[in-house]
């Protein structure tokens, strides 16, 4: 190829490279837009402490407390310790691959509650029957958090009561481990095993550091422990209500209320 022919070809290559670099520059600038950046810590704290966040936070906390109190009022369980943990996390920077949704919001806040109840180990059959009866009496609502979700019925829970009263077999199978939990919707109720040779005891769940309004860790009463409850009552029941989103702000600034 002569030098005269090479020069136009070289110019074409340079133009193509310039266009490519221009596209990259535009993409880089767009990636730095507010909607594509990770939410800075100061903005996360500001949003977490906003009146809107406080409103939705209180609403969900009141509802969680109402659920826990339903067990205390309508069952033989004695409420002895309540922990509430809520966390507000900032959104991540825009992701081109392996997207999981955490780059679509400025902030997302969720809350969970864990309650510990005391009960007498020699009357666990009556206690479980009382829990199921409390659900039977509860008014049915479309929101599963408003009531106890475990009831008598054809799902085998009545046979669980018979098993602990000593008048029926293991409802799961004679060869399986002692049943020690009930699960429905967002609620999980577990208790200390009594009949197994190797005991499984309810453990204390310690929530994260307390740094409101971004992280809250309430423990009522503060000095109470699961071991204290077990020493006083004989055994422990643990109610866990799983994480529930209550306040989300999209990257575009739209407030999303999941519930």
- In order, the DSSP letters of 82-113 are EEEEEEEEEPPPP-SSS--STTSEEEEEEEEE
Structure tokens at 155: 């799902």
- Tokens 């193509």, located at residue: 16
Instruction: Check: CB of residue 187 under 8 Å from CB of residue 176.
Output: no
Q: Which residues, including other chains, have CB under 8 Å from residue 35's CB and lie 6 or more apart?
A: 94, 251, 252
- Tokens 């109840």, located at residue: 117
Structure tokens at 188: 């999980």
pLDDT along the chain (259 residues), means of 10: 52 55 45 74 97 96 94 94 96 72 91 97 92 75 66 73 86 81 92 86 88 95 95 97 96 87
Q: What is the pLDDT of residue 206?
A: 84
Sign of CA dihedral 171, 177, 180, 181: negative
Residues 11, 89: Cα–Cα separation, whole Å: 50
Q: What is the pLDDT of residue 9?
A: 54
Q: What is the pLDDT of residue 109?
A: 97
Q: What is the pLDDT of residue 154?
A: 58
Residue 35: which of 247, 248, 252, 255 has the closest Cα? 252
Q: Which pTM was predicted? A: 0.81
In terms of phi and psi (left: phi > 0; alpha: psi -120 to 50; beta: otherwise), the region of 154 is alpha
Residue 151: which of 184, 118, 177, 174 has the closest Cα? 184
Instruction: Check: CB of residue 229 under 8 Å from CB of residue 80.
Output: yes
Residues 44, 87: Cα–Cα separation, whole Å: 11
């Amino acid at each position: 190829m002569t030098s005269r022919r090479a020069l136009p070809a070289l110019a074409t290559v340079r133009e193509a490279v310039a266009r490519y670099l221009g596209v990259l520059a535009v993409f880089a600038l767009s990636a730095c837009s507010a909607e594509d950046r990770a939410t800075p810590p100061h903005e996360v704290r500001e949003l977490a402490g906003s009146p809107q966040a406080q409103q939705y936070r209180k609403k969900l906390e009141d509802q969680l407390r109402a659920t826990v109190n339903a067990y205390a009022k309508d069952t033989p369980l004695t409420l002895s310790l309540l922990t509430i943990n809520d966390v507000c996390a900032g959104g991540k920077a825009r992701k081109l691959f392996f997207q999981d949704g955490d780059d679509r919001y400025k902030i997302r806040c969720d809350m969970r509650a864990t309650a510990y109840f005391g009960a007498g180990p020699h009357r666990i059959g009556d206690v479980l029957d009382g829990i199921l009866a409390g659900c039977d009496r509860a008014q049915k609502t479309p929101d599963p958090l408003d009531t106890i979700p475990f009831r008598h019925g054809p799902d085998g829970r009545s046979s669980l009561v018979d098993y602990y009263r000593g008048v029926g077999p293991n409802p799961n199978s004679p060869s399986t481990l002692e049943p020690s939990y009930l699960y429905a919707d967002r609620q999980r109720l577990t208790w200390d095993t009594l009949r197994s040779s190797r005991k499984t005891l309810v453990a204390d769940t310690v929530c994260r550091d307390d740094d409101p309004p971004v992280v809250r860790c309430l423990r009522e009463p503060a000095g109470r422990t699961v071991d204290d409850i077990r020493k006083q009552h004989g055994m422990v029941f643990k109610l866990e209500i799983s994480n529930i989103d209550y306040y989300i702000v999209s990257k575009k600034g739209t407030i999303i209320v999941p519930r």
